[in-house]
Amino acid sequence: MAPSALSRAGLFALRAFAVALSLCAGGGAFVLFLQFGAADGIDTLDVTRAVLILISTLWLAWGAVQALIGLTSRARPPAYDPKAPIKGRTVVLVPVYNEDPMVTFARIAAMDASLAAMKDPAEVHFAVLSDTRNDMIAAREKQVFAQLVAERNGVGRFFYRRREQNTGKKAGNIEDFITRSGGAYEYALILDADSLMEGETILQMIRRIEAEPRLGLLQTLPKVIRARSRFGRAMQFSASFFSPVFARGLAMMQGCTGPFWGHNAIVRVRAFAESCGLPPLRGKPPFGGHVMSHDYVEAAMLARAGWIVRLDDDLGGSYEEGPENLVDHAKRDRRWCQGNLQHSRIIGAPGLKPWSRFVFAQGIMAYISPLFWLGFILASIAAPLMAPPPDYFPIPDWPIPYFPPSEASKAIGLAIGIFGLLLLPKILIAARAAITGEAKAFGGPVIAFVSTLAELLLSSITAPVLLLYSTRSVMQVLLGRDGGWPTNNRGDGTLSLKDAFAASHWIVTIGLVGLMATWTFAPGLFLWLVPVGLPMVLAPVILAWSSRPSRSRLMGVPSEYAKPAVVVLHDVILDRWALDAERSEAQEPRQSAKVAAPAKGMAVQNV
């Protein structure tokens, strides 16, 4: 069924079930740990660690329950006519910020060609909204845009404008367009510079929002494509193999108060214009200033105004690109961290739906949860120093010593439960894919299952490194440091060992200090913490190794085994444009070389 098809009572019951199951898992972990600590008497530190385990396990269980709901339901389209004539005019918004114009505009050409191949009379325009600060790149944008318009006969359909000031970043960029030109359109499809969508998908999104007058925003689930590195391909595999199940669970629980991820989503312009104005927050960044994670706030404001916000997880043909290394991922995550912590200023806004407030709380929890795990580890190292000495003769004058029973089984059971919450959902997804035949698109059941194990292993190795990057991001925000809005690196993400060490030397230090402190003060915990501390010590090697191109057959995705039509179109157009640019450059004077088009795949900052 479609997410919105659940009755209000059914949606409440589903949400209550998810919360109750998570509470049971967290409560069980809390009780088990207290029983473990009771072996030598419960003290304040035992209670503190039990509370930290409770909070951390609650968060892990919530993700596992979301996967469980996704596993037990199937993505189905809502009721609408997929061949109904489209009446409204749509604009595809492509915000750019210091991007490679040739690669970005080739995506627009590919999407327009894909739409043309559908032979649908729907009126769809494209608008490039440039916030580029580099004048040389901006000049190149105008040059390539002219080529795009000429090639696609886009006069009157393609538009370009560059703002003098990039006030409000991407949200301000879109708001500026909606304010100035939004009245000409019924719908706006919002993309990122690296977004790519099939023409059929675009048309079906328009039909779906046109078929439901109360629908204010329709979000798709983008799949990552073109990943080359080991880290990138692991992210790509996860997005294609695991994410649809988690997204299905999310869609079921969110109902009509769904998510907005800022791109690959269509909005009703009137609803967006009436509901989603975002004034700056009072005070200075990081908690004040322009709202950085504006997408979740815009979804909440649409829902507050009575519009449906929906995730249609059955829609395919929606793509994006991802970071190729852990450092670029951490830089992007730093911005998301600041944006989500900003939501602490918004969560109490009047009129918001209860579920919208809950979503804000989830986003905040996603970034502060590493602090609870880190706090638990530090408290566990400190526990032996604060524990009272054992009393083997609790009864006066009793000659036989008393040895408290071992509670190691409780600790082992707790560890198994926590790892189960992390691993079991992905194993179940692989099992279901093998049973239903979905694994064939990922190389077959055996390859898909081994790929699942490989992804689990890589994510386990990188988790401690990401934990520290996330912890640093949270601490920087809490200390008042503004992370800004750095340009995305969409080129070759390979890191040298020197660059990797420069980006992670502090992680190495923390790992070494942590392992030495554990060996000195809590030797019984040393082997338990080696899986956490060793990846920290080896962080430069992990960063460099995972950024290298992958030549393995593992973690393959459908878009690699059979390229989507729009991706093929993009490759053909980009290759032809790059060849034309090389010929043009060869004919121009040497002085013009500095403004020539970057080679395919080259990062803009290297031009």
| Residue 305: φ, ψ to 5° | -80, 0
Evaluate whether residue 539 is within a structural domain: no
Q: Which residues pair with 161 in a beta bridge?
A: 129
For residue 399, what pLDDT is reported?
62
- What is the rounded radius of gyration, in angstroms, for the C-alpha atoms of the chain? 26
pLDDT of 75 reads 81
Distances (CA, A) of 47 to 42, 164, 383: 7, 56, 11
Element (H, E) at 476: helix 445-478
- What are the start-end ranges of the E strands in 166-305? 187-190, 196-197, 215-219, 223-224, 265-268
Query: Strand 124-130 and strand 215-219: pairing?
Result: unpaired
Residue 17: inside a domain: yes
Q: Is residue 583 part of a domain?
A: no
Strand order in the sheet with 196-197: 196-197, 318-320, 223-224
Q: Which of the four pLDDT bands, split at 50, 70 and 90, describes residue 602?
A: very low
Is pLDDT larger for residue 130 or for residue 385? Answer: 130
For 295, the token pair is: 């997408």
CA dihedral over 144, 147, 151, 152, signed as positive or negative: positive
What DSSP element (H or E) covers 162? strand 158-162
Condensed to tens digits (0 to 9), the pLDDT of residues 217-229 reads: 999 999 999 999 9
pLDDT at 605: 32
Q: Give CA–CA dist 560/232, Å, rounded.
A: 13
Tell whether 319 is covered by a domain: yes
Q: What is the pLDDT of residues 95-153, one digit of tens each?
A: 999 999 999 999 999 999 999 999 999 999 999 999 999 999 999 999 999 999 999 99
For residue 401, the model assigns a pLDDT of 56
Q: Residue 95 — φ and ψ, nearest 5°?
A: -70, 135
State yes or no: pLDDT of 362 exceeds 90: yes
221 vs 319: CA distance, rounded Å: 8
CB 271 within 8 A of CB 302: yes
Give the alpha-carbon dihedral of 38, 41, 47, 50, to 10 degrees: -30
CATH number at 313 reads 3.90.550.10
Per-residue pLDDT at 41: 66
Mean pLDDT of the chain: 89
**Would residue 351 be called left, alpha or beta, if left means φ above 0 and alpha means ψ between -120 and 50 degrees?**
left
Would 481 be classed as within a structural domain? yes
Structure tokens at 509: 């230090």
Q: What is the pLDDT of residue 436?
A: 95
**Has residue 411 been placed in a domain?**
no
Q: How confident is the model at residue 590 (pLDDT cuts 50, 70, 90)?
A: low
pLDDT digit string (tens) for 267-322?
999 999 999 988 899 999 999 999 999 999 999 999 999 999 999 999 999 999 99
Backbone φ, ψ for residue 190 (5° rounding) = -95, 125
Question: What is d(CA 534, CA 541) in angstroms, rounded to the nearest whole number?
Answer: 11
C-alpha–C-alpha distance, residues 3 and 8, integer Å: 11
* Half-sphere exposure in the Cβ direction for 561 (13 Å, CA): 15
Per-range mean pLDDT, top range of 369-383, 507-521, 579-593: 507-521
Q: How many CB atoms lie within 10 A of CB 573?
A: 22
Q: What is the extent of the structural domain holding 442?
A: 1-387+421-494+547-574
pLDDT at res. 390? 57
Residue 90's contacts (CB-CB under 8 Å, 6 or more residues apart) are 122, 123, 124, 125, 185, 186, 187, 188, 189, 202, 206, 266
Question: What is this structure's pTM?
Answer: 0.89
Q: How many other CB atoms are there within 10 angstroms of residue 148's CB atom?
A: 24
The one-letter amino acid code at 290 reads H
Q: Alpha-carbon distance 515 to 360, whole Å?
A: 35
C-alpha 600, offset from chain centre: 26
List of residues 6+ apart from 355 with CB closer than 8 A: 15, 254, 255, 257, 303
Residue closest to 310 by CA, chosen among 382, 389, 215:
215
How far is it, in rounded angstroms, from Cα 96 to Cα 484? 16
Residue 451's CB is within 10 A of a number of other CB atoms, namely: 25
Closest-CA residue to 246 (of 221, 217, 218): 221
For residues 143 and 28, what is the distance between their CA atoms, to the nearest angstrom? 62
- The answer to the question of residue 393 being in a domain is no
pLDDT category of residue 592 using cuts at 50, 70 and 90: very low
Contact 154/235 with Cβ under 8 angstroms?
no
pLDDT above 90 covers a percentage of the chain that reads: 73
Token pair of 505, please? 């030397």
Q: Output the six-digit token pair for 155.
A: 């006069």
Antiparallel, parallel or unpaired: β 124-130 and 90-96:
parallel
* Domain count across the chain: 1
Count of alpha carbons within 13 angstroms of residue 326, beta-carbon side: 28
> In this structure, are residues 290 and 172 in contact, taking their beta carbons and an 8 Å threshold?
yes
Contacts of 498 (CB under 8 A, 6+ apart): none
pLDDT score of 1: 43
Does residue 29 register a pLDDT over 70?
yes
pLDDT at residue 599, as a whole number: 39
CA distances to 127, 155, 225 from 318, in Å = 19, 26, 10
Q: Is 397 left (phi over 0), alpha (psi -120 to 50) or beta?
A: left
For residue 117, how many C-alpha atoms fall within 13 Å in the half-sphere facing its CB?
14
Query: Could you give the count of Cα atoms lying within 13 Å of 34 in the half-sphere of its Cβ?
Result: 12
In a domain, 556, yes or no: yes
Q: What's the whole-number mean pLDDT along residues 469-480?
A: 95
Query: Which residue reads 């009780």 in tokens?
Result: 31
Out of 74-83, 310-319, 510-519, 534-543, which region has the weakest mean confidence (pLDDT)? 74-83
Q: Please identify which residue in the block is written with the tokens 């059979």.
A: 562
Q: Residue 129: phi, psi to the nearest 5?
A: -105, 100
- Exposure string of 123-136, with b = 16+ CB inside 10 Å and e = fewer, is ebbbbbbbbbeeee
Quote the CA–CA distance of 130 and 197 in Å, as a whole number.
20
